Amino acid sequence: MNPLLDDSKQPRFDLIGPEHVVDGLRELLTELGTALEDLETSLEPTWEGLVTPLERIGERMGYSGGIVRHLMGVKNSDALREAYETIQPELVEFSMRIGQSRPIYDGLVAIKSGGEWSKLDATQRRILECLIRDAEHSGVGLEGDAKRRFNEIQQELAETATNFSNHVLDGTKIFALELNDRAEIKGLPPSALALAAQAATDAGHANATPEAGPWRITLDGPSLQPFLQHSKRRDLRETLYRAYITRASTGDLDNQPLIAKILELRREEAGILGFDSYASLSLASKMAPDVTAAENLLEELRSASIDAAKLDLADLKQFAAQQAASEANDLRHWDIGFWSERLREERFAYNDEELRPYFPFERVLEGLFALADRLFDVKIKAADGDVSVWHDDVRFFRVFSRGDEEIAAFYLDPYSRPAEKRGGAWMDECIGRSRGRLPVAYLVCNQTPPIGETPSLMTFREVETLFHEFGHSLQHMLTQVDQGLASGIRNVEWDAVELPSQFMENWCYQRETLLGLSGHFETGEKLPLELFEKIVAARTYRAGSDMLRQLYFALMDLELHSRFDPKQGSAFDVQAKVAEKTTVITPLAEDRFLCSFEHIFSGGYAAGYYSYKWAEVLSADAFGAFEEAGLDNPQAVQETGRRFRDTVLALGGSQSPMEVFVAFRGRAPTTDALLRHSGLAA
């Protein structure tokens, strides 16, 4: 059997290669095509006669296709790209074939309008209504030229999004600063020098050392961010910054024409389906009722943060002037990270590099798993070696319930690998819970890797990111919904799916949790209490600027997908327009950030980036329940944690997000907790 098609157990990553992709998926498509034809000709308008077999087809396709998409993100190669580009049109065609199947759609409508409806429980009814809506959004009602053009658009969008993502990966890989003079590395901390020397070694400088160089600085996050924060060479910071904001915007990797094409295709797609914009189409399946509601929330947050952001910039200018910095009266984009870090050190008497030794990766994991046990009564045990993995760095864990019953598992791929792995962090499903199968998750980060004999020492932001992605994984793994179409994160509205992830970040500022996951990699010493207090005090440092940055992205996304006509102007004009009210330093004229904005052009956040803030309102309010119960009261925390598990984490997409939130919180959400946590409350 082609190992890509064996869904009887965990994926055989030791056997699956690019050579299995085309033949394997074509074989599967043939098999599932026959199953679909049989279903269309013999279906009964009942749950077992239609929805259950439809789910089975989706599960089979999702499993094998999901493995290939996963490998495209974590083990990208020319051979895999070629294979995926060959088979992708056939995958899209099959997906459209299901979505546009008139017999299946008519059968679903018949269930809803007939006597079968009364036999369904609430979860089944919600699933059925979502299946009908999704079919309508997939063009099931289209005929003739409209259907033909709609299907052409789906193929073009899939191909263009893949090319967009590949360009970003390649654009990140091709740039590097090769430094040979010690004057060029002035200000960089030992951890950054060690990583830069390791990067130089990987690039062919066999004798590179942290002390003598050469040093290689790349656009990969663990390399880029420390350089912008600590390098005293303003000219090199500028070079690096300009390279970062112009990634994938020139030559063969230029994403500018792809942006225009994607926006135009989405606009046309929405029009064919009868929507006035792609944003309206996108929000028709989200928690926010319409574009106006999403924009109103973003504006409420913008109004609360703009003055604070302006004050943040004034503080930096004043501080730079006190240090007699020549750039004090003309701070540029490549200066903000540097002077922000210097002011943080001055104001709170610590820096991120001081924290790293206290957060070795393995110790942080232990603390994270202890928190999961304390809050949600689950045990997580390492099971490395039980399954095959796609890279030696990948870990595997099993999750057990209070009765020591295995309920889930997950892969963890923690470290940056810029040569083959896309940037950022994400969670995805390997296997969903359904028909007795246990859920399995992929949890992927891009944190600082081990260097020589030194383990991975995490920045505080990397700790937060790990907590964030683990929150997504918990919702996937702790679901109690047995209907596969609504288990875990499935069927959860996109603007609510960030609730568990952002909720988990709050625990990084809770004393018992943070001290519990710390341990100096050399001495084992816990994070000193005074350092913890400084971290908490600094939580709202530049909160206005941080809030405004996310609002800049979210409002730009909504503007591009609602009122903007790609035939009438440039997306970068929209960027400049939104920047006028959401930035305190105007972006550079050559800024091409949009060319690497994968979230909205090749990810799932098109006309949905606002979801981060929409869900952060929910997550902050949810954490407020623990604050009200008393964070220093173990029993109250435990009881509240169990309630969170039994609602937010357990119910998945079986109920609307508002119903799930109210079931946990006892009321609708407010922005109060988010503004309070951010230090922006009136």
Largest CA distance in the chain: 80
**Residue (of 566, 433, 534, 546) closest to 160 by Cα position:** 566
For helices 543-562 and 611-629, what crossing angle results, to 10°?
A: 140
Residue of 462, 469, 505, 598 with catalytic role? 469
Residue 209 CB neighbours (<10 A): 16
Report the C-alpha gap between 230 and 246 in whole angstroms: 22
User: Among this protein's residues, is 469 annotated catalytic?
Assistant: yes
- Give the H or E element holding residue 121: none
Sign of CA dihedral 578, 572, 339, 509: positive
Tell me the backbone φ, ψ of residue 168, rounded to 5 degrees.
-65, -45
b/e map of 291-316 (b: 16 or more CB within 10 Å)? beebbebbeebbebbbebbeebbebb
Q: Using alpha carbons only, give the angle 57, 58, 61 rounded to the nearest 5 degrees.
A: 90
Report the C-alpha gap between 188 and 191 in whole angstroms: 8
- Give the H or E element holding residue 679: none
**Long-range contacts formed by 317-326: CB under 8 A, 24+ apart:** 319/343, 319/346
What is the amino acid identity at position 203?
Answer: A
- Give the H or E element holding residue 168: helix 144-174
Give one DSSP letter per residue of 255-293, joined into a string.
Answer: -HHHHHHHHHHHHHHHHHTT-SSHHHHHHTTSSSSSHHH
The DSSP bridge pattern shows strands 406-415 and 426-431 to be unpaired
Tell me the backbone φ, ψ of residue 552, rounded to 5 degrees.
-60, -50
Under the phi-then-psi rule, with left for phi > 0, alpha for psi from -120 to 50, and beta for the rest, what region is 43? beta
Distances (CA, A) of 166 to 35, 36, 64, 130: 34, 33, 21, 32
- Give the H or E element holding residue 409: strand 406-415
Name residue, tokens 């956040």. Answer: 605
**Pair 334, 234: CB distance under 8 Å:** yes
What is the amino acid identity at position 653?
Answer: G
DSSP 390: S
Burial of 368 (0-12, 13-18, 19+ CB in 10 A): buried
Report the C-alpha gap between 466 and 560 in whole angstroms: 31
Q: What is the C-alpha radius of gyration for the chain, rounded to an integer number of angstroms?
A: 25
Token pair listed for 484: 């596969």
Burial of 499 (0-12, 13-18, 19+ CB in 10 A): buried
Tell me the backbone φ, ψ of residue 481, rounded to 5 degrees.
-85, 125
Name residue, tokens 């940055």. Answer: 549
Residue 455 CB neighbours (<10 A): 15
Q: Using alpha carbons only, give the angle 654, 656, 659 rounded to the nearest 5 degrees.
A: 105
Query: Helix, strand, or coil here: 562?
Result: helix
Catalytic residue annotation: 469
